[in-house]
């Protein structure tokens, strides 16, 4: 059977507008019977198409708990195909916590509705391999013992929420339970490789499940609706623009990283050359200082030698030797010897 692909916002919205189908999908995810459900008005993100990467729908639902009690909860469904949307998820959660429409009761009985956040992700979350994970808060005392008496409590439930995360790329195609069967309509391995707007589903997998028949019929209707196909074309165009933008950003980031690396290398080479120049200058200065010191020592040695010769010459002259004899004794010029002898 060829049906419309519910990863498209317009198809997903069309599915969830059907109360019976919405109850079927959310009951499977919550693992609780959803008795009644009401879609909150004006909560479609596609009314403000400045950011299409996240699509949201909010429901007020009455569910039956395991003990048979019934309670009203808020279910927030967010669907995205773009990674790193954590901040925007948190911003929207904050808006929901601050929305007075999610408060029930009066006076002392006033409290916020318990909230369950459902995330349908078109990307993988780290290394988590399970396609569906449940993140539930627990109430414990100081010693890490579970607190059961008085729980659930409206005050506690108003300040915390549980989450269900579905990684659509992790859907395996294996039908092990009712949730696997419901989520199989999102399995993108069944997408038409030439036109991702449609899926080819094996209807024999759903023959024994009457709850799946309305889902298949509605997806079949969506596939045959020209206006629906036109809106899917619009989504494809938008996401192709997003992909081109992201590609351009990746190219620019890569170029910027390469330029930064080249600049860093050039700076390092400049610093190294500067250090080598400083070292060479220091070595030159040291060599110059050593040369000056050697020259000074040579001059001092020469002066000491001259003084010693002068003293020898004077001593020999005082002993009565002639200047000619002194010349032969010390091997010096007679003129210099006579000058030294006459200095006194």
What pLDDT sits at residue 43? 44
Answer whether 122's CB lies under 8 Å from 168's CB: yes
Among 147-161, 170-184, 259-273, 275-289, the least confident range: 147-161
What pLDDT sits at residue 2? 92
Angle (CA) 180 166 148, round 5°? 90
Answer whether 143's CB lies under 8 Å from 97's CB: no
Sign of CA dihedral 19, 21, 24, 25: negative
How far, in whole angstroms, is CA 238 from its chain's centroid?
24
Tell the residue number behind the tokens 């499940």, with chain if given: 209
pLDDT value at 51 more than 50:
no
Answer whether 43's CB lies under 8 Å from 58's CB: yes
pLDDT value at 112 more than 70:
no
Going by C-alpha positions, the residue among 177, 192, 243 that lies closest to residue 7 is: 192
Q: Which pLDDT band holds residue 223 (cuts at 50, 70, 90)?
A: very high
Answer whether 194's CB lies under 8 Å from 8's CB: no
| Other CB atoms within 10 A of residue 26 CB | 22
What pLDDT sits at residue 45? 43
The DSSP code for 146 is: B
Going by C-alpha positions, the residue among 30, 7, 11 that lies closest to residue 117 is: 30
pLDDT value at 318 more than 70:
yes
Give the torsion through C-alpha atoms of 201, 205, 207, 210, to 10 deg: -90
SS3 161: strand
pLDDT value at 312 more than 50:
yes
User: Residue 138 corresponds to which tokens in the numbers above?
Assistant: 């627990």
Give the torsion through C-alpha atoms of 208, 211, 214, 220, to 10 deg: -50
pLDDT value at 53 more than 70:
no
Answer whether 322's CB lies under 8 Å from 337's CB: no
Q: How far apart are CA 313 and CA 36, in angstroms?
A: 131
Going by C-alpha positions, the residue among 216, 229, 232 that lies closest to residue 25 is: 216
Q: Which pLDDT band holds residue 103 (cuts at 50, 70, 90)?
A: low
Q: What is the pLDDT of residues 11-28, one digit of tens each?
A: 998 999 899 999 999 999
Q: What is the pLDDT of residues 193-219, one digit of tens each?
A: 888 899 999 888 888 889 999 999 999
Answer whether 89's CB lies under 8 Å from 272's CB: no
Computed on alpha carbons and rounded to an integer, the radius of gyration of the chain in Å comes to 45
SS3 156: helix
Q: What is the pLDDT of residues 119-138, one digit of tens each?
A: 888 888 888 989 999 998 88
Answer whether 163's CB lies under 8 Å from 135's CB: yes
Q: Give bridge partners of residue 77 from the DSSP assignment.
A: 57, 118
Average pLDDT over residues 45-52: 43
Q: How far apart are CA 16 and CA 26, in angstroms?
A: 10
Q: What is the pLDDT of residues 69-97, one digit of tens each?
A: 888 888 888 777 666 555 566 665 666 66
| Other CB atoms within 10 A of residue 273 CB | 10
Average pLDDT over residues 282-310: 90
Sign of CA dihedral 312, 313, 319, 322: positive
How far, in whole angstroms, is CA 117 from its chain's centroid?
22
User: Residue 163 corresponds to which tokens in the numbers above?
Assistant: 């989450």
Q: Which pLDDT band holds residue 50 (cuts at 50, 70, 90)?
A: very low
Q: How far apart are CA 219 and CA 189, in angstroms?
A: 17
């Amino acid at each position: 059977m060829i049906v419309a692909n519910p990863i498209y916002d317009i198809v997903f919205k069309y599915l969830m507008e059907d109360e019976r189908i919405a109850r079927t999908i959310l009951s499977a995810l919550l693992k609780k019977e959803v008795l009644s459900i009401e879609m909150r008005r004006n909560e479609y993100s596609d009314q403000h198409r400045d950011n299409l990467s996240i699509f949201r729908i909010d429901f007020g639902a009455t569910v039956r708990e395991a003990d048979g009690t019934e309670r009203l909860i808020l279910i927030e469904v967010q669907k995205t195909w773009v990674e790193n949307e954590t901040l925007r998820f948190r911003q929207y959660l904050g808006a929901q916590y601050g929305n007075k429409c999610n408060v029930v009761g009066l006076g002392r009985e006033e409290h916020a509705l318990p909230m369950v956040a459902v995330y349908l992700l078109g990307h993988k979350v780290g290394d988590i391999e399970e396609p569906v994970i449940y993140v539930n808060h627990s109430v414990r005392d100081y010693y890490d013992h579970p607190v059961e008496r008085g729980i659930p409590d409206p005050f506690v439930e108003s300040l915390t929420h549980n989450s269900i995360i579905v990684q659509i790329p992790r859907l395996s195609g294996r039908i092990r339970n009712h949730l696997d069967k419901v989520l199989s309509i999102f399995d993108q391995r069944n997408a038409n490789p030439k036109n991702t707007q449609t899926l080819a589903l094996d209807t024999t997998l759903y023959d024994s499940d009457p709850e799946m028949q309305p889902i298949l019929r509605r997806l079949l209707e969506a596939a045959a609706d020209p206006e629906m196909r036109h809106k899917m074309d619009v989504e494809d165009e938008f996401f192709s623009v997003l992909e081109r933008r992201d590609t351009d950003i990746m190219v620019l980031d890569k170029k910027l990283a390469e330029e930064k690396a080249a600049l860093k290398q050039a700076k390092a080479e400049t610093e190294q050359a500067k250090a080598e120049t400083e070292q060479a200058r220091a070595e030159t200065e040291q060599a110059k200082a050593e040369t000056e010191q050697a020259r000074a020592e040579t001059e001092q040695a020469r002066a000491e030698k001259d003084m010693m010769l002068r003293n020898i010459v004077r001593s020999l002259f005082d002993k009565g030797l002639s200047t000619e004899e002194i010349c032969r004794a010390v091997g010096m010029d007679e003129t210099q010897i006579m000058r030294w002898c006459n200095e006194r």
